[in-house]
Amino acid sequence: MSNLYNRIAVFRAERGVSRRELAEAVGVNNQTIGYLERGDYKPSLELAMKIAAYFGVSVELLFSFQRFESVADTLRRAAAAGDQQ
Amino acid sequence: MSLLKKLDDLVYAIGIDKILFRKVRPRSLRWIPLFVLAALIVGYVLMASIASRPTAKFFVGWLLFYGAYMTAMLLRTFGPRFVATARDPLDERELTVKARAYATSGIGITVLAMLGCCYMAGAEPLGIWRPHMPNDWISLALGLQAIAMLLPTWIASWLQPPPLADQED
């Protein structure tokens, strides 16, 4: 079975949302959000779409079968692209 | 202060409300059910091995068996959540864990019952022990009930990873 990676923790930290707040918004137990973030639980399509809708992004931005680039790498790449321009 | 108010306060003071209203934080009980199961089996063997009752050995077995039986009933409250409350319905992860735990324990109990029936069928011709007193049979039924209560809690505890250290509660 393939791994399903997600960036819920990153989005949550960026928006300053607690696990409890996110859990209440999408209708799950706050432990479930913790298990999702740790990669210990794969959400249903319904839950994945609810979380994506909560953050206002597409599901692909939040969940992926490939490991996400780290925030540091993304920033470094963005800075390098800015320098080139 | 009325007697009812005193009793009400007592319930909250000793924490029974946490069990009644399922306010207990769910925990992974990966090992405790095995100890309870062991106590249940040892208790049954001690009770059933005595032909002439009552003896001290029988009472030790009785205490072990019924202690384990009561613990099996209580453990469900402290283990992974199986029962939804109006305030906290079970979410999709908890429902999945519950379904898998009950399905697996159902298979386990079926296999156990089948093996038990085969044993009973062979016990008399082979001249080995089998339940013969009414107490043996009743205890066996209660033991099966306790196992049916313990197995889902034990299996669900292994199905879900250990709880997070940071609960953000």
How does pLDDT run along chain B (169 residues), one tens digit per residue?
Answer: 788 888 888 888 887 777 777 677 788 889 999 999 999 999 999 998 877 767 888 899 999 999 999 999 989 888 888 888 877 889 999 999 999 999 999 999 999 999 999 999 999 899 888 888 888 899 999 999 999 999 999 999 999 887 766 555 4
Q: Which residues contact B100 (CB under 8 A, 6 or more apart)?
A: B155, B156, B159
- Over range A16-22, report the average pLDDT: 94
Is residue A4 classed as helix, strand or coil in its secondary structure?
Answer: coil
Mutate which of B83, B164, B167 to disrupt the A interface (most A C-beta within 10 Å)? B164
Residues on chain B touching A43 (C-beta within 8 angstroms): 92
How is residue A26 written in tokens?
Answer: 């999408």
Is residue A51 classed as helix, strand or coil in its secondary structure?
Answer: helix
Query: Residue A15: pLDDT band by 50, 70, 90 thresholds?
Result: very high
Q: Which residues contact A20 (CB under 8 A, 6 or more apart)?
A: A30, B168, B169
What per-residue confidence (pLDDT) applies to B169? 46
Residues B81/B94, Cβ–Cβ less than 8 Å: yes
A30 touches B at CB < 8 Å: yes
Residues on chain B touching A20 (C-beta within 8 angstroms): 168-169
What per-residue confidence (pLDDT) applies to B22? 66
B17 touches A at CB < 8 Å: no
Amino acid at B91: D
**In chain B, alpha helices (H):** 3-13, 16-20, 32-48, 56-78, 92-126, 134-159
Output the 3-class SS for B53-101.
CCCHHHHHHHHHHHHHHHHHHHHHHHCCCCCCCCCCCCCHHHHHHHHHH
Model confidence, pTM: 0.81
How is residue A33 written in tokens?
Answer: 């959000």
Mutate which of A24, A29, A42 to disrupt the B interface (most B C-beta within 10 Å)? A29
How is residue A15 written in tokens?
Answer: 């928006």
What per-residue confidence (pLDDT) applies to A79? 87
**Which residues are bridge partners to A63 per DSSP?**
A6
What per-residue confidence (pLDDT) applies to B114? 96
For the stretch A22-74, pLDDT in tens is 999 999 988 899 999 998 899 999 999 999 999 999 999 999 999 888 888 88
